[in-house]
Amino acid sequence: MVEYRERDYGRNRQTGSRGAGRSSRDRARIAARRRRLRRRRRMMQIAMRIGMLAAAVFLIVLIAVKIGKPTSDRGTVSAAGLDESKGTKGPTKVIQTPPDYDVQLLTINEYSRPGTAIDEVNGIVVHYTANPGTTAMQNRSYFEGLKDSHDTSASSHFIIGMDGELVQCIPCNEVAYASNDRNNDTISVECCIPDDTGKFTDDTYKTLVHLIAWLCGRYGLTTEQVIRHYDITGKMCPKYYVEHEDAWDKLKRDVEQYIEDYGVLSEGAA
């Protein structure tokens, strides 16, 4: 009986030892499982944060795009086919034929026709001659004479006389010395005047409206890109249309109306 108990006791001890070993492995497995769960939770938290950040960025971009869209319902006539109020392309009229003009190009020289190319036309600048009673050809001769007199640097792409005659002095793809900082991207138009008021004659006015309307169509410009010398430098030029803002606004409206009345749909307009 004693031996039996000792063997039984010994077997119990051995069994207890094996049980303790299994408990240790179980604890290791549980600890490993917990570590895996913690890693999964961390990964899920990171993924959630990334998702929230992406959603926030998307909302910011969406708001920025919405704010950046034009909201005004007003638009101007565009010979480039742009609906200024919506920023979309639509049917647009252009003037295909310019007014009659006499090409009297200046001699290339550093004082009135440098021969420098214009890369892109971004505007039309209206001037007045400031010498009442002179003709278009007289003003053209003055520009030509600067190559010899060296008095100053001055010229213009076009000159409109008091009878509506139109003279071209500089090719439209070259720089004219007329509009200071905007010489490199604008076409200049000088207008002759009968008196010190600086107001254009009816004939000068009609040719100017036709010329601007044609140039807008040729270069894809809007009436917002038709400006005065005054708008660049503050110089009182063209005098009457600086002193009478309403007359300047009317001139641009008349250009728009001329395009509407006499223009044809541009190529590709729907």
Q: Do 143 and 169 meet the contact criterion of CB atoms below 8 Å apart?
A: yes
Mean pLDDT of 186-213: 98
pLDDT digits (tens, 9 = 90+) for 61-80: 777 766 654 433 333 444 33
Sheet-wide strand order for 123-128: 102-103, 166-168, 158-160, 186-191, 123-128, 226-228
> The whole model's pTM is what?
0.68
Domain assignment present for residue 47? The answer is no
At 45 the pLDDT is: 83
CA gap 162, 191 in Å, rounded: 8
Model confidence at 87, pLDDT cuts 50, 70, 90, reads very low
CB of 174 within 8 A of CB of 123?
no
Query: What's the alpha-carbon Rg for the chain, to the nearest Å?
Result: 40
pLDDT digits (tens, 9 = 90+) for 111-150: 999 999 999 999 999 999 999 999 999 999 999 999 999 9
Residue 91 has pLDDT above 80, yes or no: no
Q: What is the pLDDT of residue 31?
A: 76
Q: Quick check: is 255 in a domain?
A: yes
Report the CATH number at residue 158.
Answer: 3.40.80.10
pLDDT at residue 68, rounded to an integer: 55
Task: For residue 96, give every residue at least 6 positions away whose Cβ sits within 8 Å of its Cβ, in sequence order, or none.
Answer: 214, 217, 263, 264
pLDDT score recorded for residue 34: 81
Residue at 67 is within a domain: no
What pLDDT is recorded for position 3? 41
Backbone phi, then psi, for 226, in 5-degree steps?
Answer: -95, 115
Alpha-carbon distance of 219 to 122, in angstroms, equals 8
Helices (H), 86-199: 136-149
What are residue 102's phi and psi, to 5 degrees?
A: -105, 120
**What's the mean pLDDT when you consider all of the chain?**
84
Torsion of CA 112, 113, 116, 121, to 10 degrees: 80
Identify whether 116 is part of a domain: yes
User: Which residues form the domain of 254?
Assistant: 82-265
Task: Give pLDDT, residue 40.
Answer: 80
Kindly state the percentage of the chain with pLDDT values over 70: 80
- Measured CA to CA, the distance from residue 259 to residue 215 in angstroms comes to 11
pLDDT of residue 27: 75
* 183-186 LR contacts (CB < 8 Å, sep 24+): 184/116, 184/118, 184/119, 185/118, 185/119, 185/120, 185/121, 185/122, 185/123, 186/121, 186/122, 186/123, 186/124, 186/125, 186/227
Look at the chain and report how many structural domains it folds into: 1
Residues 108, 123: Cα–Cα separation, whole Å: 23
Say if 170 falls within a structural domain.
yes
Residue 141 lies in a domain: yes
Kindly state whether residue 225 falls inside one of the protein's structural domains: yes
Which tens digit of pLDDT belongs to each residue from 202-211? 999 999 999 9
pLDDT digits (tens, 9 = 90+) for 215-267: 999 999 999 999 999 999 999 999 999 999 999 999 999 999 999 999 999 86
Tell me whether residue 34 is in a domain: no
